[in-house]
């Protein structure tokens, strides 16, 4: 795979597909980690005299056409403003993705300057299942630039126009973020130091079953929390009250548990819970001893005994991969489990990888420094699919000559 350093960029227009899909509260960015992660590649290109056009998506715009999606948003305007602050230089935002405003912005750049396109998902062709529709948008984007740098690892698992089709139309290379993510993920899949402990949380068991199946062939221990844990507990015959449950996934979960047992992989599930009668910041927390959740109660965090158990199971680890918080950490009453797990992982002397998304947000919200971990991924779903052994369309495109 060609690296961005291998491209001749001085005086040339380089379109950088970044992953700037940051969490927002209205127009306010609540975690700028992905913007910060894009800085090394952007600064490198700027320092070499490139004219940089940043392409990214934000959220999931709704609507049947460009105008409807653009009217409903979200706009990348707050992201462009934050990127400008971090780069210390203006980052003007085009009023469209690949139209008149985008062409004017790109054409008006001088070497060392940066501009941003509006949310690429305003264009229906970006996410279309039809090859021809994606290729039309890719062609319009290609007209803006002389070269392409793929640096949005969090979108690499998407067969989207700006990720998969566009690099085939321009000289292309991988940015520093993509190369860093790949380096870490290869360490997780190629003879990792042991014990290798994987911590999985999040809402749905169905989202993680494929990666769990793959991890049973390489990990030593799986710690499972979050909403997904209750489908696992139900598969073992426990009562889960009104907790999140994917009843239709119980057979698949049972099969995964059997596969783990056969492979000698230890699966650790919650042994107590913090529950409430509804989900909300005003919910009253109550600790329930034992693995069963009473009727009418919703488990929203792992209990104190589980926090101690997970901490012990992480204490001897030499490699840790964590994806998904064990509780609803956004609400202080249900954040202790995530805080305990984060602290235990940060204390590990070895390779510690935080798998993006809500896990990365939890690290920052709970006040842990980024450098307490070997690597905080921007990948989320892309990281999981890589660990599953799936081919990522964006990487396939970058690897092509």
Catalytic residues: 34, 204, 357, 381
Answer whether the bond into residue 74 is a cis peptide, omega within 30°.
yes
Do the Cβ atoms of 119 and 57 come closer than 8 Å? yes
User: 248-254 long-range CB contacts below 8 Å, 24 or more apart?
Assistant: 249/205, 249/206, 249/209, 252/205, 252/206, 252/209, 253/205, 253/209
Do the Cβ atoms of 164 and 189 come closer than 8 Å? no
Rounded-to-10 torsion of CA 259, 263, 266, 272 = 10
Q: How far apart are CA 15 and CA 61, in angstroms?
A: 22
What is the number of alpha carbons within 13 Å of residue 340 lying toward its C-beta? 21
Strand order of the β-sheet with 286-289 is 286-289, 272-276, 298-302
């Amino acid at each position: 795979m060609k690296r961005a350093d291998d491209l001749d960029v001085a005086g040339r227009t380089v379109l950088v597909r970044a992953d700037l899909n940051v969490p927002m509260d209205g127009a306010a960015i609540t975690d700028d980690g992905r913007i910060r992660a894009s800085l090394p590649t952007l600064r490198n290109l700027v320092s070499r005299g490139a004219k940089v056009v940043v392409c990214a998506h934000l959220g999931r715009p709704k609507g049947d056409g460009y105008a409807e999606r653009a009217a409903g948003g979200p706009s990348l305007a707050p992201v462009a403003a934050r990127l400008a602050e971090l780069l210390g230089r203006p980052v003007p935002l085009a009023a469209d993705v690949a139209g008149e405003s985008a062409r004017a912005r790109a054409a008006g750049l001088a070497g060392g300057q940066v501009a941003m396109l509006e949310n690429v998902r305003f264009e229906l062709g970006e996410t279309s299942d039809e090859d021809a529709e994606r290729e039309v948008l890719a062609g319009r984007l290609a007209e803006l630039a002389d070269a392409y740098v793929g640096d949005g690892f969090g979108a690499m698992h998407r067969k989207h126009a700006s990720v998969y089709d566009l690099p085939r139309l321009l000289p292309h290379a991988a940015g520093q973020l993509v190369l860093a993510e790949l380096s870490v993920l290869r360490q997780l899949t190629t003879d990792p130091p042991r014990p290798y402990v994987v911590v999985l949380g999040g809402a749905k068991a169905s989202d993680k079953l494929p990666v769990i199946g793959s991890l049973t062939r390489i990990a030593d221990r799986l710690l499972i929390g979050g909403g997904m844990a209750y489908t696992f507990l139900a598969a073992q015959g426990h009562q889960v009250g009104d907790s999140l449950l994917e009843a239709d996934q119980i057979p698949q979960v049972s099969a995964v548990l059997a596969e783990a047992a056969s492979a000698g992989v230890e699966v650790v599930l919650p042994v107590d819970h913090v529950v409430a009668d509804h989900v909300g910041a005003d919910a009253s927390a109550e600790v329930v001893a034992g693995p069963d959740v009473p009727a009418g109660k919703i488990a929203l965090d792992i209990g104190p005994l589980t926090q101690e158990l997970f901490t012990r199971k992480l204490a001897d680890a030499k490699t840790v991969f964590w994806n998904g918080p064990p509780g609803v950490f956004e609400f202080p009453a249900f954040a202790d489990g995530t805080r305990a797990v984060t602290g235990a992982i940060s204390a590990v002397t070895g390779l510690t990888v935080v798998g993006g998304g809500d896990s990365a947000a939890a690290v920052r919200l709970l006040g842990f420094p980024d450098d307490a971990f070997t690597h905080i991924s921007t990948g989320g779903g892309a990281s999981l699919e890589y660990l599953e052994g799936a081919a990522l369309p964006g990487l396939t495109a970058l690897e092509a000559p």
